[in-house]
Chains A and B, each alone.
Chain A
């Protein structure tokens, strides 16, 4: 039996052990941390549907693949789907920083933008202690996998009172060289008191390439700070994408995210917001649109730890073909967290009889002086509206596209960063026009 066969028949988690041994050796502190994380992953394995948080998402397909760490790869040019934003662009290609396609504008005083590797080179002890403090014992199996395997990423530090007007655009491109490979990018943003910044994360990949992206993004926002976060998952159709976002908010800190999932064969984002300081506010807007055989899962977890904290959540799902979508929104209000105001809305649109969206609000309220509301609806395109538009001369596919766009618009219209909004509107229009034509 050849070595290749042995690898293919090995138990799934053992393949990750082999991939790890091939990539990481040594006895330094960081490698020890990685190894400990791998052990935690190996001991639990991939989550199964018996785990409540993964009830609607089966990772079996991901588990049966064997992925090895992606190498640094070259890429000739800026890709057509990349956003044209002003400000700093950091290009990660197959999980590795590519300086040639990155551009760093002069940062105002108080702003530091580094790649994770640069930070590691400058101060490995600081990185190790950061990871120990933040990730060693928290996080699910896949976050542990990221800790074991991460290669590169982005670190943004904002000093107190720093206002960064230009967005930081982090584009993660997988190329054909990523076939059979995995990358585990890691983004760390530490925002000082009363600081402000906008972070755009964009994930894309080469068509027909099967790869696995498993990202971790961490925000720590100090008192009075504000972060606007745009996360656009537009991976290649055969890709696997799992993203973990965790945000900790101190007193009066604000976090607003747009969580957009359009690509990948199997995609999931999990957003955890910890409202640790009184007066903090989290706003989560999401849009996921599984078509064909895609499976897209949006998981949110908002923990109102401090009193006088507020959150709002508006998620929309559009599923066509045999697409499957999941929205799971958990809200916890801790016993001492009085005067909470929390609103959650999940609205879903099914475009075909074979599409499915599961939506599950979960409220755990242990305080008594709180206002929490939630609502979920799932429906189809309004037949009367469709007829009305057609009776004015629009083709059925244009009429459907207009109604789908209108449904998505309530999320898209809240995006105040013009290049992101324009690109998404175009994406949505093209996507559903194509889908309709395929259907006709």
Chain B
């Protein structure tokens, strides 16, 4: 589904990715771990198409298409979803407007008709229940005045409604207490399916207790320096990152 080859990228003026390779197949869950400053968030932003990040080399192929040539909205319509590390507060734009406009833009792109109001609300209510969110959130401004945990739940709610093929979660676990982490993990797990891939970018192993990855990668110095199965995450938790770096340098 996603094939990243020798990716080099700048965040602003600074070279952050130095030849990153990653293959993600449909139905798989990948965890990308790494120390601060290793390039985890840059990777997520580059894949979502954020301005200010410049690809200087390599390629990203998604479902056979050159992902890097698409605008952020085209990526979203093709089924790429980024759950933000810091979801943006947008007073004056309703949550329900965003969900509806996003969903209809994606459906239109697929050649499907717009959802009618009843169908849409039924869908949204069901997903809100899953995320244990009160319906009053719908008519509030996007993330406006939400607590950290509510913002992260709102990200997963959007993801659950938009049903992406490739979900990228950028530090979704950061700042969550254990109950909120369970709700978020539950939401993510409900989206696991044979035709969907999930990439979790995380600093801690904790999230992986709830969302079990098929593959774990260590990102350091702008490239993947080690890959393994979920046991790698446990080992990192115990021993830190230095041994992997030393092993890679050797």
Contact = CB atoms under 8 A, between A and B. Distances in A.
Contact of B91 (A388, A391, A406): A406
A330 interface: no
B90 A389 contact: yes
Nearest to B142: A388
In this complex, the member of A389, A392, A399 whose beta carbon has the largest number of chain B beta carbons within 10 angstroms is: A392
In this complex, the member of A388, A395, A407 whose beta carbon has the largest number of chain B beta carbons within 10 angstroms is: A388
B103 to A, nearest CB: 8
A352 B244 CA distance: 49
Contacts of B73: 390-391, 393-396, 399
A423 to B, nearest CB: 19
Interface string A96-122: 000000000000000000000000000
A229 B109 CA distance: 45
B88 A393 contact: no
A389 B98 contact: yes
B77 A393 contact: yes
Contacts of A407: 92
A389 B48 contact: no
B51 interface: yes
A405 B93 CA distance: 8
A384 interface: yes
Contacts, number: 77
A385 B51 CA distance: 12
A394 B108 CA distance: 11
A415 interface: no
B76 A391 contact: yes
Interface in B86-132: 87-88, 90-93, 97-98, 101-103, 105-106, 109
Interface string B152-168: 00000010001000000
In this complex, the member of A384, A398, A407, A410 whose beta carbon has the largest number of chain B beta carbons within 10 angstroms is: A384
Contacts of B46: none
A84 to B, nearest CB: 25
Contacts of A395: 73, 105
Contacts of A392: 76, 98, 101-102, 158, 162
A385 B102 contact: no
Contact of B72 (A387, A398, A403, A406): A387
A422 to B, nearest CB: 17
Nearest to A392: B102
B71 interface: yes
A393 B114 CA distance: 14
Contact of A387 (B51, B91, B105, B162): B51
B226 interface: no
Nearest to A405: B92
B92 A410 contact: yes
A385 B48 contact: no
A3 interface: no
B88 A385 contact: yes
Contacts of B98: 389, 392, 394, 402
B164 to A, nearest CB: 10
A405 B72 CA distance: 21
B87 A388 contact: yes
A391 B44 CA distance: 12
B87 A390 contact: no
Contact of A406 (B82, B90, B101, B102): B90
A393 B106 contact: yes
B112 to A, nearest CB: 13
B145 to A, nearest CB: 15
Contacts of A405: 92-93
A384 B48 CA distance: 13
Nearest to A384: B88
Given A383-B51, A394-B101, A394-B105, A389 B93 contact: yes
A312 interface: no
B90 A393 contact: no
A110 to B, nearest CB: 41
A39 interface: no
A436 to B, nearest CB: 13
B90 A385 contact: yes
Nearest to B159: A392
B97 A402 contact: yes
A387 B84 CA distance: 11
A385 B92 CA distance: 12
Interface string A236-276: 00000000000000000000000000000000000000000
B65 interface: no
Contacts of A391: 48-50, 72-73, 75-76, 81-82, 84
A388 B95 CA distance: 12
Contacts of B106: 393
A384 B105 CA distance: 20
B211 to A, nearest CB: 21
Given A392-B76, A392-B162, A393-B102, A409 B92 contact: yes
Contacts of B142: 388
A393 B93 contact: no
Contacts of B92: 403, 405-407, 409-410
A403 B90 contact: yes
A384 B109 CA distance: 24
Contacts of A384: 88
A389 B82 CA distance: 11
**Which 3 residue pairs across A and B have the least CB separation, nearest first?**
A406-B92, A392-B102, A393-B105
Given A389-B98, A391-B84, 11 more contacts: A388-B84, A389-B93, A390-B71, A391-B48, A391-B75, A392-B76, A392-B101, A394-B73, A399-B73, A403-B93, A405-B92
12 contacts: A382-B88, A384-B88, A387-B48, A388-B84, A389-B90, A389-B98, A391-B72, A391-B81, A391-B84, A392-B102, A394-B102, A405-B92
Interface of A: 382-385, 387-396, 398-399, 402-403, 405-407, 409-410
